[in-house]
Chain A
Amino acid sequence: NAGVTQTPKFRVLKTGQSMTLLCAQDMNHEYMYWYRQDPGMGLRLIHYSVGEGTTAKGEVPDGYNVSRLKKQNFLLGLESAAPSQTSVYFCASTYTGELFFGEGSRLTVL
């Protein structure tokens, strides 16, 4: 039972490069989320989705885009990476409001 799987787990980018983080869940959850976690800042919501084909902005959406083409997948894209986007990114999903998190993706932007 995989739960929530994030790929890749680690990535190093140069400023201006683009990349996509993939989140996949096998629990048939409607809701999916992308958070970033920085030291002393806690978890901050980037974007979320309440169902297939829908997305919405969270607390810190600038510089990120998302897509939810399939119910089980939620993609987070960085079109032009900046050093300020160095962080650990967590994907989460839920059906009842209680979040299940992936193990995180550590992104470093040089």
Chain B
Amino acid sequence: TQLLEQSPQFLSIQEGENLTVYCNSSSVFSSLQWYRQEPGEGPVLLVTVVTGGEVKKLKRLTFQFGDARKDSSLHITAAQPGDTGLYLCAGGDSGGSNYKLTFGKGTLLTVNP
């Protein structure tokens, strides 16, 4: 069973601060996805990274996939209250299937105005 550990579990910061959320595993994943979930809604995909060492930027969000494809990080610059939510990482099956994902338990981010 592939496991994904996310840290920290909870994070409360002030508007304008920077933060990094981590997603780690002892297993290799074929891809790594990040989702954001707001209260009362389903998760929404933010990004997919598939190549070891890959870095993707989405406005103030920077995503990185580790060289060994076992870990990933999400960095948010100048956080805003609208960034508040549960951030979930999900790894694609190392057997090659991207269609069966393993989810981490999530990082609950609160950005205070």
What is the size, in residues, of chain A's interface with B at 8 Å between Cβ atoms? Answer: 24
Encode contact with A along B22-43: 1 for CB under 8 Å, 0 otherwise.
0000000001010100001111
Q: Which one of B42, B103, B104, B105 contacts A103 once the chains associate, using CB atoms below 8 Å?
A: B42
Are B44 and A101 interface neighbours, CB within 8 A?
yes
B13 within 8 A of A: no
Chain A binding surface SS class: strand
Q: How far is the CA of A43 from the CA of B90 in the complex (A)?
A: 10
Nearest residue, chain B, Cβ from A9? B40
A7 within 8 A of B: no
Chain B binding surface SS class: loop
Are B104 and A42 interface neighbours, CB within 8 A?
yes
Nearest residue, chain B, Cβ from A101? B42
- On chain A, the residues within 8 Å of B9 by CB distance are 40
- On chain A, the residues within 8 Å of B92 by CB distance are 97
Are A101 and B43 interface neighbours, CB within 8 A?
yes
Are A98 and B103 interface neighbours, CB within 8 A?
no
Are B99 and A103 interface neighbours, CB within 8 A?
no
Q: How far is the CA of A109 from the CA of B40 in the complex (A)?
A: 19
Knowing A43-B88, A50-B99, A104-B40 are in contact, say whether A98-B104 is a contact too (CB < 8 A): no
Are B103 and A42 interface neighbours, CB within 8 A?
yes
Are A97 and B99 interface neighbours, CB within 8 A?
yes
Are A98 and B33 interface neighbours, CB within 8 A?
yes
B48 within 8 A of A: yes
- On chain A, the residues within 8 Å of B100 by CB distance are 45, 48
Q: Which one of B1, B41, B101, B106 contacts A99 once the chains associate, using CB atoms below 8 Å?
A: B101
**CB-CB nearest 6 A-B residue pairs:** A101-B42, A97-B98, A42-B105, A43-B103, A42-B103, A31-B99
8 inter-chain pairs at a CB distance below 8 angstroms, sorted by A residue, are A40-B9, A42-B88, A44-B103, A45-B101, A92-B42, A97-B98, A98-B45, A100-B45
Which A residues contact B (CB, under 8 angstroms)? 4, 31, 35, 40-45, 48, 50, 59, 90, 92, 94, 96-104
Which B residues contact A (CB, under 8 angstroms)? 1, 9, 31, 33, 35, 40-45, 48, 88, 90, 92, 98-101, 103-106
